């Protein structure tokens, strides 16, 4: 035994024995952390995708008395991970409207906590789903305005004997009411789930008035760039200072 220890003494003095102890300790730690590491590698990973220069397509419908068209502008949510994303919820929490002019500046104009239509789902790995961000409907000369995250329903009432509606009192009623006017906005979209931590994305929204009867209104979406993100940060700073001064 003593001869065996004498043979090991040069290795001990050279530090090899200590090195083996460190390697063994690291092995124990790695085995203990391996389940958590595998869960992290297989976690759901959500990505927002918007085609470049995306314009919401115009969809035409017909009614007995009036022509109807609608716009629906969704973004695409994709699970690029290796496990299902459970109970996904997307909320457009804040809206910032850009001020026309050479300076890139914006002001906070609206907050919301309503889930966007198409979210509140489970998303398997490798699958994608559309999430509605903004919609618009027109019926003849009647306009719904721009609505956030919800489809628009129309109720028609036109004067005729069968309906009992008096002449001059007909029209179209839209539900829900409009949320935003025409203009250029940035929307802060928060996406979270029961196994997905909340993540924020800034999405550009260009809401256009009717240019001519042939084209009608338009909705254009895109991911906000660095200039837009800086403008939003400055708007948040001004908003925070205002809250402090009011408090």
* CA torsion, ordered 187, 194, 51, 106, to nearest 10 deg: 10
Statement: residue 187 has pLDDT above 60: yes
Say which residues have a Cβ less than 8 Å from residue 191's Cβ, sequence separation at least 6.
46, 48, 77, 88, 89, 90, 119, 198, 199, 201
The verdict on 61 and 6 lying in the same domain is: no
Span 208-214, average pLDDT:
68
Residue-number span of the structural domain to which 20 is assigned: 2-41
The verdict on 24 and 79 lying in the same domain is: no
Please state whether the predicted TM-score (pTM) of the whole model is above 0.85.
Answer: no
Work out the pLDDT band at 67, boundaries 50, 70, 90: confident
Kindly state the tokens that stand for 3. Answer: 């001869």
The verdict on 98 and 144 lying in the same domain is: yes
The verdict on 7 and 75 lying in the same domain is: no
* CA torsion, ordered 4, 10, 13, 14, to nearest 10 deg: -130
Q: What is the mean pLDDT of the chain?
A: 81
The verdict on 143 and 118 lying in the same domain is: yes
Statement: residue 161 has pLDDT above 70: no
At 87-134, the pLDDT tens digits run 999 999 999 999 877 778 999 999 988 899 999 999 999 999 999 999
The verdict on 84 and 107 lying in the same domain is: yes
* pLDDT for the residue 131: 94
Statement: residue 167 has pLDDT above 50: no
Domain count, the chain: 2
The verdict on 144 and 177 lying in the same domain is: yes
Q: For residue 3, what are the CA distances in angstroms to 6, 7, 9, 235?
A: 5, 6, 10, 77
Span 139-160, average pLDDT:
84
Phi/psi for 151 (5° steps) reads -75, 155
Share of residues in the chain with pLDDT > 90 (%): 43
Kindly state the tokens that stand for 8. Answer: 């090991």
Which stretches of the chain are assigned E, i.e. beta strand? 46-49, 54-55, 58-62, 67-79, 85-98, 106-111, 121-123, 128-139, 142-143, 147-148, 153-157, 171-175, 183-193, 196-208, 218-223
Statement: residue 78 has pLDDT above 70: yes
The verdict on 130 and 171 lying in the same domain is: yes
């Amino acid at each position: 035994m003593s001869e065996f220890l004498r043979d090991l003494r040069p290795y001990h003095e050279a530090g090899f024995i200590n090195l083996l102890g460190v390697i063994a300790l690291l092995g124990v730690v790695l085995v203990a952390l391996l389940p958590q590491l595998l869960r992290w590698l297989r976690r759901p990973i959500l990505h927002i995708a918007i085609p470049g220069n995306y314009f919401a397509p115009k969809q035409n419908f017909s009614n007995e008395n009036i022509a109807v068209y609608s716009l629906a502008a969704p973004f695409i949510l994709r699970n690029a991970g290796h496990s299902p994303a459970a109970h996904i919820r997307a909320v457009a929490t804040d809206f910032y409207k850009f001020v026309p002019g050479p300076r890139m500046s914006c002001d906070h104009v609206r907050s919301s906590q309503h889930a966007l239509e198409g979210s509140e789902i489970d998303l398997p790995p490798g699958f994608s789903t559309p999430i509605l961000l903004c919609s618009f409907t027109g019926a003849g000369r009647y306009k719904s305005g721009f609505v956030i995250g919800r489809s628009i329903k129309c109720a028609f009432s036109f004067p005729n004997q069968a309906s009992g509606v008096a002449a001059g009192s007909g029209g179209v009623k839209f539900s829900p009411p409009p949320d935003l006017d025409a203009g250029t906005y940035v929307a802060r979209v928060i996406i979270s789930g029961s196994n997905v931590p909340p993540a924020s994305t800034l999405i550009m929204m260009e809401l256009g008035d009717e240019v001519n009867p042939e084209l009608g209104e338009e909705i254009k979406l895109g991911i906000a760039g660095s200039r837009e993100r800086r403008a939003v940060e400055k708007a948040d700073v001004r908003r925070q200072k205002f809250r402090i001064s009011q408090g």
